[in-house]
A and B are shown apart, each in its own frame.
Chain A
Amino acid sequence: MKLNELTIKQAHEGLKSKDFSALSLVNDCITAIEEKNADLNAYLSVFKESAIRDAKRVDEKLAQKEEIGELEGIPLAIKDNILIQDTKCTAGSKILENYVSAYDATIIKKLREAGAIFLGKTNMDEFACGSSTESSAFGPTKNPLNQKKVPGGSSGGSAAALSADMCLGAFGSDTGGSVRQPASLCGNVGFKPSYGRVSRYGLMALASSFDQISPFAKTVEDAELLYKTIAGKDSHDSTTVDKQLGLDEKINFKKLRVGLPKEYYKGLGGNIKDKIEEKVNILKGLGAEIKEVSLPHTDYALAVYYIIMPSELSSNLARFDGVRYGYSAYKNGSVKNLLEAYMESRAIGFGKEIKRRTMIGTYALSSGYYDAYYKKATAVRAVIKQDFDKAFNEVDCLITPTSPSVAWNLGEKMDDPLKMYLSDIYTVSANVAGIPAISIPCGDIDGLPIGLQVMGRQFDENTVLRTAKELYI
């Protein structure tokens, strides 16, 4: 077995018992990147030099017989909307093609302190707007399991990098499913914690009331380790909460109540349904109570999301004006005044999907339409949250599919934005309600993986992770 194919846990054990060095672990990942990245386009930039330097540092520690932490020497991939000081950060956009991060994101700081090694930055839909990683200004990422297929999105680069063993773990951002859905399509574990658990300082904002940085891993155990490392209150992000993680509690499966929300299974393909049922039966065998529940406003979740998200996006992306950083039309001397400089910088710097969403958001917030769109959507969001609160009075977690389909062909949904949006239908609700949710592999259809999603009560990551671990390694 090549070292890059190990899980984080296995690699840590190997490093600790000196079966191999941190340098050989990093080198195996870099070899995989050099062999595969030209085809897959998962990484936008690779930090070969600093990764090797950091690995040698870990090896020195090991040679001195010093203890190493669980993430020390572990090579990771980071989505290109998370800042790593003094390296390029593009968010998949032409407007930031040459942008260099001035500081480290909080999660990067925490990972550095834990001794993790950064291999590079991964491809993504522009500003995380997409479900297939095809809207990147730097070309699409391909699914390593079948290169004619999309890897999902928007964190498709991170999902593909992990699936192709070009790293041992990865990070993305999940605003409406952008980690869970690509994890599902690439056969990984993707875990979105509750809103407020992880600091977004240094993450380029898409929609601030939904955004959550989330790990990709090969196992639930690895995902939990990555999550634990980055979680916690941060004075730089006032939405973070100061609450115990509560991850060590064992759960008694004989007392676990598992809900199957009927709205999620309506119209779902038989193949996916059967595979999920197999997994649910495992929990039944352990003594868990399985029952059908209803989340009556499920149908509205996607509509709520596609009003509030573009509204917040249009506001967040106002900073890209060609003045302080990023592509500037003014610099080229082709414009006469400030208004033209804004219009032209954004016309050239932004791709189609960003233009579309910014305009939808601007419209939804504009005078005369604000009540009918934005205000209405926030009220319905409260109703959806109530649905979940009611369901969680009856059950401890919910099991659903992650995505309505397996990976689709490259280009298949690019001409129809609404069709693309519908691929988020099972994942957005967790962001709308701010609750934790994980996607784990659950069999395949013709070699293309299916994802199973477990959702839990707000801040009850423990039940979600324990349940997922029972169903997958």
Chain B
Amino acid sequence: MKLSKEDVQKIALLARIGIKEEELSKYGDEMSSILEYVNKLQEEDTAGISSNFYITDLENSWREDELKGCTEAERELILGNMPEKEGDLLKIVGVFKK
């Protein structure tokens, strides 16, 4: 199976990555060759094998849902990483239209 330009465009939108028109076919070719390689798994009969598999025997890990807070230094560093803010508030582009 070969991914078309339209396929790549659709996947890029789902992945929230802007891809330039002129790059679509190159990504399509590269991804198709990777998918062709990984498709060899279809040869293996996995009927009866649970796909709900994890490599260690983990059990649920519980803790109280409580506020832990952070140090003042951590707070400053987190605020410092924000691309745009007003005071100590994070400023982002509107989610809903006015």
A-side residues, CB < 8 A to B, are 85-86, 99-103, 195-196, 209, 235, 238-239, 241, 297, 299-300, 302-304, 306-307, 314, 318, 321-328, 330-331, 335, 337-339, 341-344, 346-347, 350, 355-356, 358-363, 366, 372-373, 375-383, 385, 417-418, 421, 432-434, 458
Contacts and interface: CB of A to CB of B under 8 A. Distances in A.
A165 to B, nearest CB: 33
A325 B90 CA distance: 10
A335 B93 contact: yes
Nearest to A239: B58
Interface string B60-98: 010100000010011001101111100000101111000
A103 B55 contact: no
Interface string B9-35: 001111111111000000100110111
User: For chain A, what secondary structure do more than half of its interface residues adopt (helix, strand, loop), or is it mixed?
Assistant: helix
Contacts, number: 170
Contacts of B73: 85-86
25 contacts: A85-B74, A85-B77, A102-B74, A102-B78, A102-B81, A303-B39, A303-B40, A322-B83, A324-B83, A325-B82, A326-B83, A328-B84, A335-B93, A341-B93, A346-B16, A347-B18, A350-B17, A359-B17, A360-B31, A362-B14, A366-B14, A375-B51, A377-B38, A378-B51, A383-B44
B17 A358 contact: yes
A359 B54 contact: no
A429 B93 CA distance: 44
A338 B94 contact: yes
Interface of B: 8, 11-20, 27, 30-31, 33-35, 37-42, 44, 46, 49-56, 58, 61, 63, 70, 73-74, 77-78, 80-84, 90, 92-95
Contact of A356 (B27, B38, B41, B50): B27
B11 A102 contact: no
Best-buried of B30, B44, B46, B93 by chain A (most CB within 10 Å): B93
A344 B11 CA distance: 15
A137 to B, nearest CB: 16
B92 A323 contact: yes
Contacts of B41: 300, 303-304, 307, 376-377, 380
A86 B72 CA distance: 12
A331 B30 CA distance: 32
Contact of A418 (B37, B74, B78): B37
B9 to A, nearest CB: 10
| Top 10 closest pairs, chain A to chain B, by CB | A347-B18, A434-B55, A328-B83, A238-B61, A343-B18, A379-B46, A325-B81, A102-B77, A362-B15, A382-B53
